[in-house]
């Protein structure tokens, strides 16, 4: 999937060279940019751990 570019760069989970820390840095950067530019920043967190 990665070699065919089917997974977007914004997908961090279970990928080579992409960690939770990368996701946290991106989220923090986006929040700071929104704050600096007087923009509203929204986040959606979904937990699929108990899905069947």
Q: Which residue has the tokens 């600096």?
A: 36
Q: Which residues of 5-40 are buried (b: 16+ CB within 10 A; e: fewer)?
A: eeeeeeeeeeeeebeeeeeeeeeeeeeeeeeeeeee
Who wins on pLDDT, 16 or 45? 45
Is the pTM for the entire model greater than 0.85?
A: no
Work out the average pLDDT over 4-18.
72
Is the separation of the CB atoms in 34 and 47 below 8 Å? no
Work out the average pLDDT over 34-42.
94
């Amino acid at each position: 999937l990665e070699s065919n570019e089917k997974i977007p760069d914004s997908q961090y989970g279970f990928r080579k060279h992409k960690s939770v820390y990368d996701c946290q840095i991106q989220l923090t950067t986006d929040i700071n940019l929104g704050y600096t530019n007087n923009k509203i920043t929204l986040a959606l967190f979904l937990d699929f751990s108990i899905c069947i």
